[in-house]
């Protein structure tokens, strides 16, 4: 009997010792204060930013890091750090096709800043990659387990304890299949799902390390899941419960719209501060006021070769759309509107200018739509419209936006309260926007008739195209509004909200 008790006590003490030994180090504010006093170059604060995805395709999280470092803070960014395509940023593919593209380089201000460190997460082992559905049932859980271990190891052991843990919550339509497989989301300022199991890991890490958790909401994961599975699916219901439960452990919340803040307050019943922090464009998105400079750039693009004579004659209008080619962006709306525009320009309204539509981005439905466009061209239904798909460097994409006539946004909001980053970039370049407006948060970004116009059907989009291209003064009016919008930048939003919360301003 005594020997049994001794054995039990031994195992318990061993387990407790092992548990205590494996506990991650904790943030000690008193030690941090002492270090600040002893060193003149000590950081004002320390922050971990979790991006469970390609860091280079997470502009908002990169902007957070740059702003924190600019204010004197030290930052560790945890995420996948790819270098496959130099400078090919989210701008070309608006933050929604990370699964369909190689990883990209981070912002140069991050790689060159001594106050910012990147903690790279390892990719899944190659032997776990498979397209076989039967093997996926076996490898799927192993991939999830591998990702959980790598994420926990990075948060708990590969980094020093930080005062703040900023987690990004964002789930993209192209990632739905991954979330169904329970792939985690982003952690740092947190953008939405796959929030399973990221929120739980983030909450646990922040608790054990005495870090203050901030969630940066871009959308709600369960609403993205509902696009594929339906509102009443058990996984959707569980995802909603999960997000509402674990987000309560956060010290504060950022969100991209006032409408989203209202949902977090009234439906999630959060008591922690909820701070709307609107997206703003990066510094390389700037208007080009010199018309000859815009024209010269457009003529240099290979996409304009076949219509160069029209461009030089001033009888061509260029529209740009950055799309993810996914179900949440109905590209058929634009195709239908362009077909009808071409018909009008060929018959009853021959004075309408020709259109060159330049489409950037990659995604699962791209080939399907390209085949559809090819058939329409062969049938002569796009005689006054030329459609080109392309991939541009960051700088060329920004210059294209600044040189085009109109931007087109097909983003539809699963929650009704998120906003498309692509429109923010377009405004940064002074480009007026026509966008799908059938969701609650649209007026927070676009002022109707001032910097853009909304539509809810291909017919309404057609009407706007005809009206603006028939009446150049109307187009110039909303261009002036877009250029005015470009004056407000990220730091103008970030400093009084996030900077104040983090004690940097």
Each residue of 289-309: pLDDT tens digit? 999 999 999 999 999 999 999
Tokens in use for 345? 């320009």
Mean pLDDT (whole number) for 217-224 = 86
Q: Which residue has the higher pLDDT, 83 or 230?
A: 230
Residue 189, pLDDT > 60, answer: no
Of the pLDDT bands very low, low, confident and very high (cuts 50, 70, 90), residue 441 is very high
> What's the pLDDT at 355?
98
Lowest mean pLDDT segment, chosen from 169-173, 207-211, 264-268, 373-377? 169-173
Beta bridge partners of 317: 355
Contact 215, 253 (CB under 8 A): yes
> What's the pLDDT at 182?
33
Q: Please name the residues in contact with 169: beta carbons below 8 A apart, sequence gap of 6 or more.
A: 185, 186, 190, 191, 192, 193, 195, 199, 215, 216, 217, 218, 219, 221, 243, 247
> What's the pLDDT at 22?
66
Of the pLDDT bands very low, low, confident and very high (cuts 50, 70, 90), residue 41 is confident
Contact 112, 104 (CB under 8 A): no
- Alpha-carbon distance of 252 to 273, in angstroms, equals 5
Residue 451, pLDDT > 90, answer: yes
Residue 109, pLDDT > 70, answer: yes
DSSP 322: E
C-alpha angle 285/495/443, rounded to 5°? 60
Phi-psi region of 286 (alpha: psi -120 to 50; beta: other; left: phi over 0): beta
Q: Please name the residues in contact with 108: beta carbons below 8 A apart, sequence gap of 6 or more.
A: none
Q: Alpha carbon of 76 to those of 98, 327, 334, 343: distances in Å?
A: 22, 34, 41, 55
Mean pLDDT (whole number) for 53-82 = 91
Q: Which residue has the higher pLDDT, 437 or 58?
A: 437
Contact 97, 363 (CB under 8 A): yes
Mean pLDDT (whole number) for 460-474 = 97
- Three-state secondary structure readout of 456-471: CCHHHHHHHHHHHHHC
- Alpha-carbon distance of 159 to 167, in angstroms, equals 15
> What's the pLDDT at 124?
82
Lowest mean pLDDT segment, chosen from 57-66, 86-95, 310-319? 86-95
Lowest mean pLDDT segment, chosen from 62-76, 91-105, 144-158, 388-402? 91-105
Q: Alpha carbon of 233 to those of 225, 326, 381, 443: distances in Å?
A: 9, 21, 41, 31
Of the pLDDT bands very low, low, confident and very high (cuts 50, 70, 90), residue 221 is confident
> What's the pLDDT at 10?
57
> What's the pLDDT at 82?
64
Q: Over the stretch 396-416, which tens digit does the pLDDT of each residue have?
A: 999 999 999 999 999 988 888
Residue 19, pLDDT > 70, answer: no
Q: Alpha carbon of 42 to those of 48, 219, 382, 388, 503: distances in Å?
A: 16, 35, 62, 51, 14
Q: What are phi and psi of 171, to 5 degrees?
A: -120, 130
- Alpha-carbon distance of 411 to 254, in angstroms, equals 21
- Show the domains of the chain with their CATH numbers: 43-280+493-501 (3.40.50), 291-488 (3.40.50.2000)
Residue 130, pLDDT > 80, answer: no
Residue 81, pLDDT > 90, answer: no
Of the pLDDT bands very low, low, confident and very high (cuts 50, 70, 90), residue 21 is low
Of the pLDDT bands very low, low, confident and very high (cuts 50, 70, 90), residue 18 is low
Mean pLDDT (whole number) for 219-226 = 84
Order of all β-strands in the sheet with 385-390: 385-390, 354-360, 316-322, 406-409, 433-436, 452-455
> What's the pLDDT at 15?
64
Contact 270, 247 (CB under 8 A): yes
- Alpha-carbon distance of 422 to 116, in angstroms, equals 26
Tell which residue, 245, 281, 321, 267, has the closest CA to residue 487. 281
Of the pLDDT bands very low, low, confident and very high (cuts 50, 70, 90), residue 465 is very high
Mean pLDDT (whole number) for 17-42 = 75
Residue 7, pLDDT > 90, answer: no
Lowest mean pLDDT segment, chosen from 138-142, 340-344, 383-387, 487-491? 138-142
Q: Which residue has the higher pLDDT, 325 or 296?
A: 296
Residue 442, pLDDT > 90, answer: yes
Q: Is the omega angle on the peptide bond into residue 381 within 30 degrees of 0, that is, cis?
A: no
What percentage of the chain carries pLDDT values higher than 70?
86
Q: How many CB atoms lie within 10 A of CB 93?
A: 26
Contact 190, 202 (CB under 8 A): yes
Lowest mean pLDDT segment, chosen from 270-274, 325-329, 463-467? 325-329
Mean pLDDT (whole number) for 126-142 = 76
Residue 372, pLDDT > 80, answer: yes
Report the mean per-residue pLDDT for the chain.
85
- Alpha-carbon distance of 250 to 458, in angstroms, equals 42
Contact 438, 320 (CB under 8 A): no
Residue 140, pLDDT > 80, answer: no
Mean pLDDT (whole number) for 476-488 = 96
- Alpha-carbon distance of 425 to 423, in angstroms, equals 5
Residue 335, pLDDT > 60, answer: yes
Tell which residue, 333, 425, 385, has the closest CA to residue 93. 425
- Alpha-carbon distance of 36 to 76, in angstroms, equals 18
Contact 380, 339 (CB under 8 A): no
Q: Alpha carbon of 471 to those of 393, 467, 478: distances in Å?
A: 33, 6, 12
């Amino acid at each position: 009997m005594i020997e049994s008790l001794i054995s039990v006590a031994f195992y318990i003490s061993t387990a407790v010792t092992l548990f205590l030994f494996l506990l991650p180090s904790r943030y000690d504010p008193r030690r941090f204060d002492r270090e600040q006093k002893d060193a003149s170059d000590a950081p004002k604060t320390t922050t971990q930013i979790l991006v469970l995805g390609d860091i280079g395709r997470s502009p908002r999280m990169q902007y957070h890091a740059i702003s924190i470092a600019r204010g004197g803070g030290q930052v560790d960014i945890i995420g996948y750090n790819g270098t496959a395509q130099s400078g090919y940023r989210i701008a070309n593919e608006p933050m929604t096709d990370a699964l369909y593209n190689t990883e990209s380089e981070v912002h140069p201000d991050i790689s060159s800043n001594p106050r910012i460190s990147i903690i790279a997460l390892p990719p899944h082992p190659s032997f776990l990659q498979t397209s076989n559905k039967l093997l996926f049932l076996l490898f799927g859980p192993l991939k999830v387990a591998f990702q959980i271990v790598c994420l926990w190891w990075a948060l708990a052991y590969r980094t020093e304890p930080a005062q703040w843990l900023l987690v990004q919550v964002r789930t993209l339509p192209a990632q739905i299949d991954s979330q169904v497989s329970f792939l985690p989301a982003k952690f740092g300022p947190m953008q939405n799902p796959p929030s399973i199991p990221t929120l739980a890991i983030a909450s646990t890490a922040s608790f054990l390390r005495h870090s203050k958790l901030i969630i940066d909401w871009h959308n709600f994961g369960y609403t993205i899941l509902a696009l594929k599975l339906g509102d009443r699916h058990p996984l959707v219901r569980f995802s909603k419960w999960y997000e509402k439960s674990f987000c309560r452990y956060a010290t504060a919340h950022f969100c991209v719209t006032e409408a989203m803040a209202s949902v977090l307050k009234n439906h999630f019943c959060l008591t922690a501060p909820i701070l709307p922090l609107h997206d703003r464009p990066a510094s390389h998105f700037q208007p080009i006021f010199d018309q000859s400079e815009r024209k010269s750039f457009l003529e240099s693009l290979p996409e304009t070769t076949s219509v160069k004579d029209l461009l030089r004659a001033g009888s061509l209008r260029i529209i740009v759309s950055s799309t993810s080619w996914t179900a949440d962006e109905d590209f058929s709306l634009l195709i239908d509107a362009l077909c009808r525009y071409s018909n009008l320009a060929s018959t009853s309204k021959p004075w309408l200018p020709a259109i060159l539509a330049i489409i950037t981005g990659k995604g699962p439905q791209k080939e399907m739509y390209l085949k559809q466009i090819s058939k329409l061209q062969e049938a002569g239904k796009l005689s006054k419209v030329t459609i080109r798909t392309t991939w541009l460097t960051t700088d060329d994409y920004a210059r294209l936006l600044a040189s085009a006539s109109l931007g087109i946004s097909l983003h539809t909001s699963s929650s009704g309260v998120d906003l498309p980053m692509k429109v923010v970039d377009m405004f940064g370049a002074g480009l007026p926007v026509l966008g799908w407006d059938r969701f609650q948060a649209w007026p927070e970004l676009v002022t109707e008739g001032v910097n853009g116009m909304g539509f809810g059907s291909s017919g309404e989009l057609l009407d706007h195209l005809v009206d603006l291209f028939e009446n150049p003064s109307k187009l110039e009016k909303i261009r002036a509004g877009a250029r005015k919008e470009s004056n407000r930048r990220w730091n103008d939003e970030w400093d009084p909200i996030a900077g104040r919360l983090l004690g940097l301003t």
